[in-house]
Amino acid sequence: MNSNDANSLKTLSESEKEVPFQSASLDIWDQKYRLKQKDGTFIDNDINDSYIRIACTLADLEQDKEKCDYWYGKFLWAIQNGAIPAGRIISNVGATQYKPHISTINCTASGIVHDSMDDILHKLHQAGLTLKAGCGIGYEFSTLRPHGDFVAGAGAYTSGPMSFMDIYDKMCFTISSAGGRRGAQMATFDIRHPDVLDFIRAKREDGRLRQFNLCLLISEKFMHAVENYVNKRINRKVKTDN
């Protein structure tokens, strides 16, 4: 962003004079949220244009003009005073004329990834289209059989859920590279799955699963077991010290 772009961000209220925009904030707005034409020409000339675009589009959902005007004022005031919407809303609301295949949904959840090659690849296809629209997506991979299990139909042993997660990771990286915005995925995994330690350690490998946030699904029973184990260790130490 050049100095002219930065100067175009005008003060909107007295409160903003106390906390001026940082250069990093202006760069993020310009690179990720500022509406532009294909050739880079600005549609949002300054950040207030982004606020107006969002407020106007949201308010236009009202059928009554009086309500539309009322909520436009409310939305605009809220955004100008710190109620910042999610990233997909800032970027895509009011932008369909320039980006017709986008979404205003930030986060989505995949359907159950069933333990079959057909469904794993079908969910991969759905995820690719979801990420292309700019949405993040989450999956549970502990529905897949563990590494080394025999697959009767193929007459071979499965590579396990981690190998399929690698495929999803590469797909996400490829789509985000083409679209210029980093894809966002979340993978959950049941603590009871035989491959859980591989899941926990996966990101220790350089460059692996970098398009994923990883989350363990932990049961109350597991937490009680941990608590009991800790208590036993503490009691054993106290007795030893005595």
| Tens-place pLDDT, residues 15-36 | 445 678 889 999 999 988 999 9
Give the helix ranges, DSSP H, for 86-133: 87-92, 117-132
pLDDT at 6 over 50: no
Please give the helix or strand (H or E) that residue 70 lies within, else none.
helix 65-80
49 has a pLDDT exceeding 50 = yes
Question: Quick one: 180 and 127 in the same domain?
Answer: yes
In the chain the first and final C-alpha atoms are separated, in Å, by: 67
Residue 11 predicted with pLDDT over 60 = no
Domain boundary among 49, 64, 92: 92
218 and 141 in a common domain: yes
Residues 215 and 141 in one domain: yes
Q: Is 95 helix (H, G, I), strand (E, B) or coil?
A: coil
pLDDT higher at 195 or 84: 195
Nearest Cα to Cα of residue 88 among 194, 217, 184: 184
User: What mean pLDDT value characterizes the chain?
Assistant: 86
Same domain? For 116 and 216 the reply is yes
Identify residue 9 by its one-letter amino acid code. Answer: L
In a domain, 235, yes or no: no
Residue 241 has pLDDT above 60, yes or no: no
Whether 149 and 187 share a structural domain: yes
> From CA 28, how far away is CA 91, in angstroms rounded?
11
- Do 150 and 78 share a structural domain? no
Confirm whether 231 is domain-assigned.
no
Q: 65 and 116 in one domain? A: no
pTM over the 0.85 mark = no
Q: How far apart are CA 104 and CA 86, in angstroms?
A: 9
Are residues 62 and 127 both part of a single domain? no
- Asked if residue 153 and residue 71 are part of one domain, the reply reads no
- Residue 236, domain member (yes or no): no
Assigned domain for 68 exists: yes
Asked if the structure places residue 211 within a domain, the reply is yes
46/180 Cα distance (integer angstroms): 21
Boundaries of domain holding 193: 107-223
What share of the chain has pLDDT > 70, as a percent? 86
Query: Residue 120 domain-assigned?
Result: yes
**150 or 242: which carries more pLDDT confidence?**
150
For residue 102, give the 3-state DSSP assignment.
coil
How many domains does the chain contain in total? Answer: 2
**Does residue 99 sit within a domain?**
no
* Nearest of 59, 57, 62 to residue 44 by alpha carbon: 57
CA 174/CA 216 separation, integer angstroms: 26
User: What's the CA dihedral at 126, 129, 134, 138 to 10 degrees?
Assistant: 10
Same domain, residue pair 117 and 86:
no
Shared domain check, 219 and 137:
yes
Determine whether 220 is exposed, middle or buried from the number of CB atoms within 10 Å of its CB (0-12, 13-18, 19+). exposed
Q: Where are the alpha helices (DSSP H) in 133-205?
A: 161-179, 196-201
Residue 52 clears pLDDT 90, i.e. is over it: yes
For residue 101, being part of any structural domain is answered with: no
Q: Which of 64, 92, 120 is the last residue of a domain?
A: 92
Whole-angstrom distance, CA of residue 30 vs CA of residue 77: 21
Residue 87 shares a structural domain with residue 132: no
Instruction: Give the domain-ending residue among 63, 92, 121.
Output: 92
| pLDDT tens column, 117-144 | 999 999 999 999 999 888 899 999 999 9
How high is the pLDDT of residue 66?
94
